[in-house]
Amino acid sequence: MSATTKWIDLNDPVGVRLRVASLDKRLLYVITGIKPGTRLFTRVIEDLKFRSSPTGAYLIRPFREGEQVHPSEFRSIWPKAATRVMTRAEFFIDLDAARRPERTARMLPISSVSRRPLSWRSSSNPASSLAATPTAPGSSKTSPAARW
């Protein structure tokens, strides 16, 4: 079971949501689900002091030290805004994790890789087809990776 906490649900009929994001080890309020350039987009910027993200995909505002946010702050635009219990996944976006580079596989020098085309061979067991082993056509059943 995942941990839950109280957070603000804007109760928007089209799914606009108030979330929290981590970016460069800072926390931001993030509003998702509003098309850039719309009247609603402009109202959130003017009335709630959010700004557009660099891509325009989100409206953002930094957390201020010790700040507490209340549903009443959003009711000028979303009159049904209220708190409700949510899982972390429902309101938190880890943008720092999205920016972390994925681990890359160790690359072999070109000279050590066979220039023959590879084909994918797997056993008749359906579960093992998820982990197919590359083999060169006409080679033994030992994968090239095991021989390198």
pLDDT of residue 51: 96
pLDDT of residue 28 exceeding 60, the answer is: yes
The partner residues of 19 in beta bridges, in order of sequence, read: 30
Q: What are phi and psi of 71, to 5 degrees?
A: -55, -30
In a domain? residue 148: no
**Count of domains observed in the chain:** 1
For residues 124 and 62, give the distance between their C-alpha atoms in angstroms, rounded to a whole number. Answer: 54
For residues 37 and 80, give the distance between their C-alpha atoms in angstroms, rounded to a whole number. Answer: 24
For residues 50 and 32, give the distance between their C-alpha atoms in angstroms, rounded to a whole number. Answer: 12
In a domain? residue 57: yes
CA Rg value for the chain: 25
Pairing of strands 17-23, 92-94: parallel
In a domain? residue 28: yes
Q: Residue 78 is part of which domain span?
A: 13-98
In a domain? residue 18: yes
- Which of the four pLDDT bands, split at 50, 70 and 90, describes residue 2? low
In a domain? residue 106: no
pLDDT of residue 23: 84
In a domain? residue 123: no
Query: Please, are residues 32 and 10 in contact by the beta-carbon 8 Å criterion?
Result: no
In a domain? residue 125: no
In a domain? residue 108: no
